[in-house]
Amino acid sequence: MNIEFNKNEDQYKQLTFKLQNKLKQVKLGGGEKKIESHHKKGKLTARERIDYLRDEGSEFLEIGAFAGEGMYEEVGGCPSGGVITGIGYVQGRQTVIVANDATVKAGAWFPITAKKNLRAQEVSIENRLPIVYLVDSAGVFLPMQNEIFPDKEHFGRQFRNNARMSAMGIVQIAAIMGSCVAGGAYLPIMSDEAMIVDKTGSIFLAGSYLVKAAIGESVDNETLGGATTHCEISGVTDNKYDSDEECLDAIKNIFDKLGAPEQAGFDRSEPASPAKNAEELYGLYPVDRAKPFDMREIIERLVDDSSFDEYKKDYGMTLLCGYARIDGWAVGIVANQRKMVKTKKGEMQMGGVIYSDSADKAARFIMNCNQRKVPLVFLHDVSGFMVGSRSEHGGIIKDGAKMVNAMANSVVPKFSIVLGNSYGAGNYAMCGKAYDPRLIFAWPTAQIAVMSGASAAKTLLQIKVSALKAKGEEITPEAEEELLKEITNKYNSELSPYYAAARLWVDGIIDPLETRKTISMGIEAANQSPITEKFNVGVIQT
């Protein structure tokens, strides 16, 4: 391997080391003292509950691990949004698991908590996966109630989803393992089965303090809404258990008797590892996004046997399209080519940019994948669509619209991995979050924004300087340089994949070596949701 490879490898391994350290910190939730306090109450933590519930040695694909990262610092932060979500296996059955982390502000709901819970329900709905709620929450974080309570995508939407999911036949199991108060009480009771842990679990619309204030009644929380009350008097909950472990064992017993899911029928053969060494991804993918590379080399380290059956190889060469297998699953891959390419006409095209011919090719390929019932995988490293008079005169907007139309109307499941750049309309065309990918994950090198940091900073600087001059103010070259630096630093911080993951623009950040597992588990989930819609792109200008 050459010096450039070794340099890339060193830089990328530093990024993955940073990722692992951040994950370790996030997994501590509210911190070691809070965990210890939790254990003294005889309770397992949210992550311990998930580990006990899921099959030993099985994979858990966490969704939203970095939700809330760097947010709400004025109130002490909210690691992982105060709730753990993901896809795991219970008795061999894939299921979505949602577990409130009571070590974080007693499991209170922040705005990002609501967004993350709704994302978990969305994953369950799209893939027809059973869902388990491990409830332990103090309810809405009152100082931010105006950002979480009344709107369409706020707290109440989860109960609407409970009702819709039940009507769809999606199995919902809830275990009340701690507090469950106010409006939050509806979530477990709108599930198919609601179980409760004795002495630690409680559920009521209003706690003892509020009851005293509202109607003057003096009553303790256990009498008001404990396990004995709801299992023997009200009948609100179905069964009570003496410990977290007994309650989780009961959930396992339910899953042991579930009927088999329907299948979408996506093709899967015997899985095979890439023929080329996957660990070479670290050295092949440059951390410096100004450096070109051949995306084929990346694909060949992600797909089975390193076999990539390319579609229209010599046409629209800044987008690679083709068929492959990932962990045995048949997939159609759409990937941005980052190196400069030379067309058959002798023209040079910039890497990472979508041209008219590339967009046209991708639209046709996406249609073919829908025709053949092949899931789509988008590998992002895109600066956007080509600009300039030549592109505009050639109809770049029309060709780009064809690609977006075909992608947006796809009925086969779509999966997005953001490797590097994902800028502007390129993010949309490559199935960004707004276009309903079943899963969207980022590598540590990912950047998601309207445009690159350098371009944005210069644009913002021009606007700022013009505004100052319009007020009659002059700005020295030194001051202008300082202002550019300030703008660049702020914008670059917002380009970070952690910034995107904190806001759930992506489902998480993964080590490149986890890409195959992530896509495979996603397709396995999608295969449990038969395709009922017909593919129709509506009106496309030709």
Based on the number of CB atoms within 10 Å of its own CB, is 295 exposed (0-12), middle (13-18) or buried (19 or more)?
Answer: buried
Q: Structure tokens of 418?
A: 């953001």
d(CA 188, CA 182): 12
* Alpha-carbon dihedral 84, 89, 91, 97, rounded to 10 degrees: 20
Strands (E), 414-511: 414-423, 439-442, 447-449, 508-509
Q: Please, are residues 296 and 321 in contact by the beta-carbon 8 Å criterion? A: no
Q: Buried (b) or exposed (e) across 434-448, using 16+ Cβ within 10 A?
A: ebebbbbbbbbbbbb
d(CA 209, CA 419): 51
Strands (E), 101-231: 131-137, 172-180, 193-197
User: Which residues, in sequence order, are CB contacts of 322 under 8 Å at separation 6+?
Assistant: 299, 308, 309, 310, 311, 332, 333
The H or E element spanning position 333 is strand 329-336
Q: What is the pLDDT of residues 177-198, one digit of tens each?
A: 999 887 778 889 999 999 999 9
- 87 φ, ψ (degrees, to nearest 5): -110, 125
Q: Structure tokens of 434?
A: 């707004």
Q: What is the pLDDT of residue 372?
A: 97
d(CA 281, CA 302): 9
d(CA 315, CA 343): 8
pTM: 0.94
d(CA 417, CA 430): 10
Q: How far, CA to CA in Å, does 56 sit from each of 53, 59, 60, 76, 258?
A: 9, 9, 11, 34, 19
- 466 φ, ψ (degrees, to nearest 5): -60, -40
C-beta neighbour count of 504 within 10 angstroms: 21
Strands (E), 198-235: none
Which parts of the chain sit beneath pLDDT 50? none
Q: What is the pLDDT of residue 298?
A: 98
Q: What is the pLDDT of residue 1?
A: 62
Residue with tokens 């944005």: 456
Query: Where do the H-state alpha helices sit in 128-192?
Result: 157-167, 186-189
Q: Please, are residues 443 and 16 in contact by the beta-carbon 8 Å criterion? A: no
No. of helices (H) and no. of strands (E), the chain: 20, 19
Q: What is the pLDDT of residues 379-413, one digit of tens each?
A: 999 988 887 788 787 778 888 899 999 999 999 99
Distance of CA 169 to the CA centre of its chain: 24
Q: What is the pLDDT of residue 467?
A: 78
